[in-house]
């Protein structure tokens, strides 16, 4: 039986590197479309020669991507941004791309399109991030019937932008938290990847949405305290009033790369908690027992301890 071909958009990112490793172990041949492909050569070390092909893709030009998808069995979209820049806008990245990819899948022999979205995606959200995520889901489902949506909560792992950020902020004596009581369900990146692979393998789930999260629901403030405890740092974690945070974010939004929180992220923290609902399928439907992120993060946060891996527990 010939190896199945999988085209992955955004395969050079945080989730992508874990996904590629998992798929190649199962004998998938991966075509990875990514910006600056010459910088992603490390991905080829994860499999035998010829199993991974890198395609330098410009989101404004779908010709090369169209050729890759045309010859693929599976297509996976991991592309997403956390904040807008002058060149990258939420609607273009989260809505236009999945719509275009879904249309190409319709004109090809693709068996399944896995589109990774986010918990909280909603048409009625005040957040442009969440609204564009929802619109992307709708466009993908409407343009390709064999689409499967996966909505993870906050994804954590050795290279994440969450546990590492607050570990770095431990240099401050006081850490202000916006939305300190906001609850979410952090999930390990390995579990997200397992969910994607299982969603590919399961039959009859086309048109379905999976909401996936870890085993624990925890508040923003408690998660930051847990990170500090893991790296043996005693710091004051205090709430920052939302009005003050919005004023601050209005200023930081002018920077090319906002250092901590954007105005749009303030809107997210003002809305419903980022937890798995009862409205869609979950990890149970994929027969996955998720790992506890609080236990797992000890494996990568040791580098922020005084003394590193030789520090006392």
Strand order in the sheet with 112-116: 52-56, 29-34, 5-9, 74-77, 112-116, 147-152, 209-212
Question: How high is the pLDDT of residue 1?
Answer: 46
In this prediction, residue 312 has a pLDDT band, given cuts at 50, 70 and 90, of low
For the segment 40-54, the average pLDDT, to the nearest whole number, is 82
Alpha carbons 133 and 84: distance in angstroms, whole number: 13
CA distances to 27, 30, 302 from 20, rounded to whole Å, are 11, 7, 26
- Pick from 56, 50, 14, 62: which is nearest to 32 by CA? 56
Percent of the chain with pLDDT over 90: 75
The set of residues, in sequence order, having a beta carbon less than 8 Å from that of 142 and lying 6+ positions away, is: 102
Q: Tens of pLDDT along 254-277?
A: 777 776 789 999 999 999 999 999
Determine contact, residues 36/54, Cβ cutoff 8 Å. no
Tell me the whole-structure pTM to 2 decimals.
0.94
For the segment 145-164, the average pLDDT, to the nearest whole number, is 97
Determine contact, residues 86/69, Cβ cutoff 8 Å. no
Q: Report domain 5-155+187-213+275-291's class.
A: alpha beta
Cα dihedral across residues 211, 216, 218, 220: positive or negative: negative
Domain range list for the chain = 5-155+187-213+275-291
Alpha carbons 186 and 156: distance in angstroms, whole number: 7
Q: Which residues pair with 185 in a beta bridge?
A: none
């Amino acid at each position: 039986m010939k190896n199945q071909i999988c085209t992955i958009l955004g395969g050079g990112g945080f989730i992508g590197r874990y996904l590629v490793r998992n798929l190649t172990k199962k004998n998938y041949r991966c075509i990875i479309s990514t910006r600056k492909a010459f910088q992603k050569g490390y991905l080829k070390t994860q499999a035998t020669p010829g199993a991974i092909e890198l395609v330098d893709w410009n989101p404004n030009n779908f010709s090369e991507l169209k050729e890759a998808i045309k010859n693929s069995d599976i297509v996976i979209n991991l592309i997403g941004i956390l904040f807008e820049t002058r060149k990258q806008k939420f609607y273009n990245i989260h809505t236009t791309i999945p719509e275009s990819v879904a249309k190409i899948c319709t004109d090809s022999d693709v068996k399944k399109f896995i589109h990774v979205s986010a918990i909280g995606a909603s048409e009625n959200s005040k957040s442009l991030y969440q609204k564009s995520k929802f619109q992307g889901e709708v466009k993908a489902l409407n343009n390709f019937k064999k689409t499967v949506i996966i909505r993870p909560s906050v994804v954590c792992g050795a290279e994440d932008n969450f546990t590492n950020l607050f570990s770095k902020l431990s240099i401050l004596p006081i850490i202000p938290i916006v939305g300190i009581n906001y609850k979410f369900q952090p999930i390990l990146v390995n579990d997200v990847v397992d969910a994607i692979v299982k969603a590919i393998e399961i039959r009859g789930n086309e048109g379905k949405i999976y909401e996936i999260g870890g085993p624990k629901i925890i508040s923003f403030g408690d998660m930051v305290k847990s990170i500090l405890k893991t790296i043996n740092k005693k710091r004051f974690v205090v709430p920052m009033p939302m009005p003050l945070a919005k004023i601050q974010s209005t200023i930081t939004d002018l920077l090319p790369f906002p250092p901590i929180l954007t105005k749009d992220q303030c809107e997210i923290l003002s809305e419903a908690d980022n937890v798995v609902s009862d409205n869609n399928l979950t990890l149970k439907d994929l027969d996955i027992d998720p790992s506890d992120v609080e236990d797992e993060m000890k494996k990568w946060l040791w580098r922020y301890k005084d003394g590193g891996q030789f520090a006392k527990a």
